[in-house]
Structure 1
Amino acid sequence: MTLDEFNDADAALLKSMLLACAAVRSWGDAIIAARPFRGLDELLAFADETARRWGAEQVDEALMQHPRIGESREHNDAAAEYSRREQPVFTDGDEQLKRALREGNRFYEAKFGRIFLIRAAGRSGEEILACLRQRLHNSVEQEQRETANQLREIALLRLRQGVL
């Protein structure tokens, strides 16, 4: 959709689109309320600034909609389609890598009580596994910040893809 279409779109349509970018209702509501935007840069800057205020509650809300890295969602909605496009490296190939990611996911979830989230787009499976292993050394507080940052990157990437 163009920026003009975004600015003029029905709020319910935009809410659905923004929830596919990041399932944080307050973030989508803030963006919808801030319209109209004069340019894509203004929209992305506002979305970024708003996402930087996400706390644990917003991150947990959004994580409920994300599949584990290396897995796909059973749903057939916009968020699931984004995830499939962002994680093509896992659709076929190295079984050893897939096993290592599953094992890393289990360790991560046991330590932090949530799924491992990373902006997978543009990263190889090996890079993702290395990040997962490195982040296992983070404190709970460090990982909360890193997860929020990764979620913000994913949301902005998806928003950038959805508005031209």
Structure 2
Amino acid sequence: MTNHSHTLDALAAADAAELEAILLEVCSSPRWAAAVTQARPWADRESLLAANAAAMASLTADDLRDAMAGHARIGKPKSGDATSEREQAGIRGVDRAVLDELGEANAAYEAKFGHVFLICATGRTAAGMLAALRERHPNDADTEAEIVRGELRKINDIRLGRLLDGS
């Protein structure tokens, strides 16, 4: 994500293509970006976050895959991507054995579900993410899809807040 501050009014006034491009930096699902764009104008920050929640609730399985495609594997933030590195700060300085366990658990999860393990990593430790990964691995695909949807909503809320705050 770029490090620009956008006021709610400036976002609401942007043309649809410009706004969708900005929103795709928040979430890589084109359907999500279009739905949030169509929810304009937003009266306040809470209205924008409500548009995020409504858009997330409407995503199909394919749309969720599009949204997940923009996220790095837990334990391997995208090099040079400040957002990915900030969100996964909990893995910095972690023992190699924990990173190896994360890698193995990720591989098992991906083999079962066909996508990366997605969790709102902000504020979480590597051990906490590993525990959550192991806890969620036994889920069935439908249960896991709904958990992923909720985690994506939380991530988007944080990213939208940072977009508005310029941080």
Q: Report the TM-score, using the length of structure 1 for normalisation.
A: 0.90
Counterpart in the other structure of 1:85:
86
Q: Which runs of 5+ in 1 are unaligned?
A: none
Please list the CA deviations of residues 51-104 of structure 1 after superposition, one character each: whole Å capped at 9, or x if unmatched: 112221111111222111111225x5xxx3321110012233321111110010
Deviation per CA, 1:99-122: give whole Å up to 9, x if none.
110010011011111111100001
* Letter of the structure 2 residue corresponding to residue 72 of structure 1: P
CA contact under 8 A between 1:72 and 1:84: conserved in structure 2?
yes
SS of match in other structure, 1:117: coil
Q: Is the 8 A contact 2:87 2:122 kept in 1?
A: yes
SS in 2 for 1:132: helix
Is the CA contact (8 Å cut-off) linking 1:68 and 1:116 kept in structure 2?
A: yes
* SS of match in other structure, 1:123: coil
Aligned-pair CA distance for 1:13: 2.9
Structure 2 counterpart of 1:53? 58
CA contact (8 A) 2:31 2:59 kept: no
Query: Is the contact made by 1:21 and 1:156 (CA closer than 8 Å) also made in structure 2?
Result: no
Identical pairs, percent:
35
Matched residue count = 160
SS of corresponding position for 1:97:
helix
> Displacement, 1:26?
1.4
Root-mean-square deviation (CA, aligned residues, Å) is 1.5
**Alignment-derived partner of residue 118 in structure 1:** 119
Shift of 1:9: 2.1
Query: Which of residues 34, 39, 58 is equivalent to 1:29?
Result: 34
Q: After the TM superposition, which of the residue ranges 80-89 and 95-104 deviates more from structure 2?
A: 80-89
